[in-house]
Amino acid sequence: MSIAKPRQKTGQKLAVIEGGRIEAARESESRYQILFDQASDAIITVASEGRIEEANQACEELTSFLKNELVGQNISVLSPDPKIHRIPERSRPLSKELFKTAGTYEDIVIVGKDGYIHMVEVSVRVIKKADGDFALALFRDVTEKKRMERELITKHAELREAYFQLEKKNAELHAMQDTLVQAGKMAALGELAAGIAHELNQPLQGIRGYAQELQTLVTNPSSEVDSSMKEIISNVDKMHSIIDYLRTFTRKSVEKHEMTDVHTAIDEALKMLSRQFASRGIKVDKSYGKDVPNIYANPLQLEQVFINLATNARDAIETTGRGGGNIRIRTRSSGQFIEVLFQDDGVGMSERTKAKAFNPFFTTKEVGKGMGLGLSLSYGVISKIQGSIVVESELGKGAAFLVRLPKDFREIG
Ligand SMILES: Nc1ncnc2c1ncn2[C@@H]1O[C@H](COP(=O)(O)OP(=O)(O)O)[C@@H](O)[C@H]1O
Ligand SMILES: [Mg+2]
């Protein structure tokens, strides 16, 4: 076993130890020498001018220099040259200044005889001696630890990314589920509407028939009777048209699709409400995309959708009590679809209202004012031609409905 030459100073010290204890002292020193040499961390002692005085076995493994190649050399043999060696980020090359102050230095880079770069942690103790200070330095190789740290960071980033992807997929799945639930409700509503329409139509036609018959039977009716008869017939006709309208939303209705100008449908809807808007101080700001083509749809049903959106906007603005407001309508072409953005600065919706707005019969309006069917029927019309309608809204911040309609639903898979 090779034991480094004992330091001179230690030798002098030994000389003063008296007679019989010398042997014991030698024994103890050689034991320390073995400990020093066999330590698993690389240890060196460095004189004040940076000269390596001692190095242990582990130094050879770390630096691939032999001990006797290190002893007597300046510490700079282990300092990498940033011009030649690649110094990893957030680390610095070993320098002799390090050995002047006690402390633990992390992320120090040394270079071995074989040119390999090692990342080390250096612990320095400065030992004061009458004949000059020296430093005892312990090197711990952290190259592998650092590599694993970096790998961990990469893996962590990958995991985060995967997590975000998962969240996204989850949200998509939820949206899809919502759509399915909504579609289910619409189908149920369709059945119900078709049933009611059918059941009511028969008796209504009966009432109309009897009323007409009465008109012919009563000769010389008073003007009151005459106007009441007319009132009955016109009310029956009104009910009939409502039933007809409900029927258009059921699967049993006959669809009449044609190439339709969405802008005309919007304009027609707005025309119907123009007087109400004017009296309520509601301004409409339209901006129609020039590249928006005609789409394959039922013009009357589209008009109905926009009437529903416009009425809701009217009500929402009126509820603010400000005595006025704005509706903005934007259209544009987007791939196989056209988009209509219907925005108002009305009261907006709470989260709860937003979640239920498209449900059949859901309304926040007082009895007689809202049936809670506008949005669900609109949803039905739009879904039937493979379009979509979504809302963005916050309480007090207005609402924006985005309607996406395929240019031709027959071409959508
Ligand atoms: N533009 C809007 N601003 C605020 N809330 C709205 C708007 N449009 C719809 N809502 C909310 O959605 C509910 C359902 O609308 P809808 O289906 O048209 O039924 P109704 O208008 O008969 O209440 C409304 O009662 C209202 O609470
Ligand atoms: Mg409505």
Ordered DSSP codes for 352-405:
HHHHHTTSTT---SPTTT--S-HHHHHHHHHHHTT-EEEEEE-TTS-EEEEEEE
What token pair was written down for 12? 């002098």
Give Cα separations from 239 to 45, 168, 248 (angstroms): 104, 47, 14
Per-residue pLDDT, 3: 46
**Where along the chain do the CATH 3.30.450.20 domains lie?**
39-141
**Do 227 and 270 touch, CB atoms closer than 8 A?**
no
Q: Which of 284, 311, 363, 366 to mutate to test the pocket of ligand 1 (most atoms within 8 A of CB)?
A: 363
229 has a pLDDT exceeding 70: yes
Ligand with the closest atom to the CA of 357 = 1
**Do 359 and 372 touch, CB atoms closer than 8 A?**
yes
Edge to edge, the sheet with strand 388-393 lists 282-287, 325-334, 337-344, 399-406, 388-393
Write the pLDDT tens digit of every residue in 280-326.
999 999 999 999 999 999 998 899 899 999 999 999 999 999 999 99
Pairing of strands 337-344, 399-406: antiparallel
| Strand ranges for 241-393 from DSSP E | 258-260, 282-287, 295-297, 325-334, 337-344, 388-393
At residue 248 the predicted structure's pLDDT band, cuts being 50, 70 and 90, is low
- What is the total residue count of the chain? 413
Ligand 1, atom 4: closest residue by C-alpha? 348
**Do 56 and 76 touch, CB atoms closer than 8 A?**
no
Ligand 1, atom 8: closest residue by C-alpha? 312
Tell me which fold the domain 39-141 belongs to: Beta-Lactamase (3.30.450)
**Where along the chain do the CATH 3.30.565.10 domains lie?**
255-413
Task: Check if 362 has its Cβ closer than 6 Å to any atom of ligand 1.
Answer: yes
The residue to which tokens 């633990």 are assigned: 104
Ligand with the closest atom to the CA of 365 = 1
63 has a pLDDT exceeding 90: yes
**Do 389 and 379 touch, CB atoms closer than 8 A?**
yes
Per-residue pLDDT, 371: 77
Per-residue pLDDT, 192: 77
Ligand 1, atom 7: closest residue by C-alpha? 312
DSSP result, 34-73: HHHHH-SSEEEEEETTSBEEEE-HHHHHHH---HHHHTTS
Per-residue pLDDT, 289: 96
The residue to which tokens 């911040």 are assigned: 397
Per-residue pLDDT, 26: 80
Half-sphere CA count of 323, side-chain side, radius 13 A: 0
Collapsing DSSP to helix, strand or coil, 121 comes out as: strand
Ligand 2 centroid vs 311 CA: distance in angstroms?
6
**Where along the chain do the CATH 1.10.287.130 domains lie?**
157-254
Ligand 2 centroid vs 355 CA: distance in angstroms?
15
Pairing of strands 282-287, 325-334: parallel
CATH superfamily of domain region 255-413: Histidine kinase-like ATPase, C-terminal domain (3.30.565.10)
More confident residue, 9 or 367: 367
pTM of model > 0.85:
no
Mean pLDDT estimate for the chain: 88
Phi and psi dihedrals of 301, rounded to 5? -65, -40
Number of the ligand 1 atom closest to the C-alpha atom of 373: 17
Edge to edge, the sheet with strand 52-55 lists 52-55, 42-47, 134-141, 117-127, 103-111, 92-93
Neighbours of ion ligand 2 (CB under 5 A): 312, 374
In CATH terms, 157-254 corresponds, of 1.10.1740.10, 3.30.420.40, 1.10.287.130, 1.10.760.10, to 1.10.287.130
Percent above pLDDT 70 for the chain: 92
Ligand 1 centroid vs 306 CA: distance in angstroms?
13
